[in-house]
Amino acid sequence: MISVSTLLCDHGADGNRLRYDIDTGTETPVTDRAQRRPVVVWNTTNRCNLKCVHCYAGAESEPKDGELTTAEGKRLLDDLADYGVPVVLFSGGEPMVREDLEELVAYAADAGIRPVLSTNGTLLTADRARGLKRAGLAYAGVSVDGLAELNDEFRGVDGAFQAAVEGIETCLDVGLKTGLRYTVTGQNVDDLDGVVDLLTDVGLDRFCFYHLSYSGRGEDLSSVDLDAAERRDVVKRICDRTLRSHRRGDEIETLLVGNYADAAYIVEYARREFGEDTARRIYERLEQNGGDPAGERVAAVDCLGNVHPTQFWRTYSLGNVRDRSFADVWEDDSNPLLQAVRNRPENLTGRCADCRYKEICRGGSRLRALADGNGLFGPDPQCYLEEDERRGALPPASAD
Amino acid sequence: MAESTRRRLDSDDRAPHGSEFEVFVRSDGDDPMRHVGSVRADDADGAYELASRLFAWHANDVWICPSGDVARYTTHELADEASTVDRPVDGEEPRNREWS
């Protein structure tokens, strides 16, 4: 997760404010111990009330046999708390279909974990929003992927857009911090500004833009993904929009998620907008942040207990929390893939190997590199940096 | 080793989609096979192909095994659907299967 608003509009911010790597609703500094532990995405169920064409989990209308029960979930949360996990993101499927969600959220909060939610928003009634708030939920990220017509087409259910917007309004009404999650593709890129304008009017002030992950049903959509020029253009629009808002005095938060070429782009953008000194300070903050977090600062546990290097990397599991503790799985130094992924700047190949931004990008998504046939350490096909941006000394050339 | 009660876990497939296959690799012929997680695929050939993409840079040998065919006995207490198994009677187990 890259906070565009913090990097471009709050130049004096502490680098720790960037530490979280998924949309957790905060950039508050966390403790040293917690910073070494991953944020954990728990896909609590495979069941969903919508049928999104780009669902990375490949969710369906029914739960899977063997999903972690309430009791197992609580033992998992104990396990994560003992390990020092700072944040659990309750996800799915659609986590709101679990009737024990409030109970699990409360249990996480009591255990000292910050509970946050990723939801399609359509089930956020006033009662449930209040219940979640009472349980200690710290943040709800609500997915909307276009204006009404396109969003409902994406979501596979008529009325999903209206229900999600009402869900956002309900969260804001009960005082629950809420943000937008918008996955940008070639199909919905033109709706982006309209959605942000509409939700700004509703009162939302946090906007997270996701790049498409080639996972689950999203794997089949790689052909409608943005090309490099389109991606560059939309990221520029997001940066421009963020700057304009802050210059007007609107303290909106804008974040980019899922493609660390964005980190390099923002350094280049800052150099053009503010000059070399600011670009260098932004580079240093991004270097602290660490680049693509897969296998390091983000982990995922799926509905059957499998542990994945990220929530998107569904086809490979490091182990299962029913067999051994999450900490034992995550700290298993004998796993050569995990070790290599954690040392990836040394292992990157192709155009990434000599890219000056590889320390703040770390090659981007290994999953997309694999899906595109580039190998485990090959380039991420979503990299949109131009040749002259990748070349040169570190950090930005004239900052030396 | 600690004398703890072991429980047998379910033997169902562990993939929400497709099938799960446990992966074992070794980098040299005189190394033991090492469990390195599992991959999800429609069939064994697909699992082998995926495991190779992930581990071919490291491993000479890649073995895969359907996840549902593995009987798991563990002292870890998370799973609800796990039945406690009796400790084998001392002296009746061959040494290479000693309980403790």
Tens-place pLDDT, residues A349-373: 999 999 999 999 999 999 999 989 9
Give the B-side interface with A, CB within 8 Å. 9-10, 12, 14-17, 20, 25, 27, 34, 36-41, 50, 53-55, 57-59, 72, 74, 76-82
Residue numbers in B near A57 (CB within 8 A): 16
| Tokens representing residue B97 in the block | 């299967």
Residue, of A335 and A36, whose pLDDT is higher: A335
Task: Kindly determine whether residue A376 and residue B57, on different chains, have CB atoms separated by under 8 Å.
Answer: yes
| Residue of chain A minimizing CA distance to B82 | A322
Interval A210-236 mean pLDDT: 87
Q: Which long-range contacts (CB under 8 A, 24 or more apart) does B88-91 make?
A: none
- Using CA atoms, how far residue A6 sits from A29, A251, A252, B93, in Å, is 13, 10, 10, 63
Give one DSSP letter per residue of A125-192, joined into a string: -HHHHHHHHHHT--EEEEE--SSHHHHHHHHTSTTHHHHHHHHHHHHHHTT--EEEEEEE-TTTGGGH
C-alpha dihedral (A143, A144, A150, A152), degrees to nearest 10: 60
Instruction: Say whether domain B17-71 belongs to CATH 3.10.20.520.
Output: yes
Interval A265-273 mean pLDDT: 95
Of residues A58, A334, A376, nearest to B17 (C-beta)? A58
Of residues A58, A79, A320, nearest to B14 (C-beta)? A320
Among A119-123, A389-393, B81-85, where is mean pLDDT lowest?
B81-85
pLDDT (0 to 100) of residue B90: 60
A23 pLDDT band, cuts 50/70/90, is low
A46, A48, A317, A372: which to substitute to probe chain B, counting the most B Cβ within 10 Å? A317
Task: Single out the residue of A196, A360, A214 nearest to residue A293, CA to CA.
Answer: A360
What residue ranges do the domains of chain B occupy? 17-71
Strand partners, B84: B7
Of residues B12, B40, B72, nearest to A314 (C-beta)? B40
| Tokens representing residue A280 in the block | 């260098």
pLDDT of A84 above 90? yes
B78 pLDDT band, cuts 50/70/90, is confident
Of residues A57, A303, A325, nearest to B76 (C-beta)? A325
Cα gap A135→A109, rounded to integer Å: 8
pTM: 0.90
Tens-place pLDDT, residues A295-324: 999 999 999 999 999 999 999 999 999 999
Q: Is residue A301 within 8 Å of residue A313, measured between CB atoms? A: no
Packing angle of the helix pair A160-173, A126-135 (nearest 10 deg): 50
Cα gap B3→B43, rounded to integer Å: 38
Among A7-21, A250-264, A355-369, B25-39, where is mean pLDDT lowest?
A7-21
| Residue of chain B minimizing CA distance to A374 | B53
Q: To the nearest whole angstrom, how far is the Cα of A378 from the nearest Cα of chain B?
A: 12
Of residues B40, B55, B77, nearest to A337 (C-beta)? B55
Q: To the nearest whole angstrom, how far is the Cα of B70 from the nearest Cα of chain A?
A: 12
Interface size between A and B, measured as CB pairs under 8 A: 93
Place of tokens 């949309």: A23
| Residue of chain A minimizing CA distance to B18 | A315
Q: To the nearest whole angstrom, how far is the Cα of B89 from the nearest Cα of chain A?
A: 24
Tens-place pLDDT, residues B56-77: 888 889 999 999 899 888 888 8
Enter the ipTM. 0.86
Does residue A58 come out as left (phi exceeding 0), alpha (psi in the -120 to 50 range) or beta?
A: left
What are phi and psi for residue A20, nearest 5 degrees?
-70, 145
Strand partners, A257: A210
Of residues B12, B37, B72, nearest to A317 (C-beta)? B37
Residue numbers in B near A315 (CB within 8 A): 39-41, 50
A75 pLDDT band, cuts 50/70/90, is very high
| Residue of chain A minimizing CA distance to B19 | A315
Q: To the nearest whole angstrom, how far is the Cα of A156 from the nearest Cα of chain B?
A: 20
Q: To the nearest whole angstrom, how far is the Cα of B50 from the nearest Cα of chain A?
A: 8
Report the Cα A257 to chain-centroid distance in Å: 5
Task: Kindly determine whether residue B74 and residue A75, on different chains, have CB atoms separated by under 8 Å.
Answer: no
Cα gap A252→A90, rounded to integer Å: 24
Tens-place pLDDT, residues A98-155: 999 999 999 999 999 999 999 999 999 999 999 999 999 999 999 999 999 999 998 8
Residue, of A397 and A115, whose pLDDT is higher: A115
Q: To the nearest whole angstrom, how far is the Cα of B9 from the nearest Cα of chain A?
A: 8
Residue numbers in B near A302 (CB within 8 A): 16
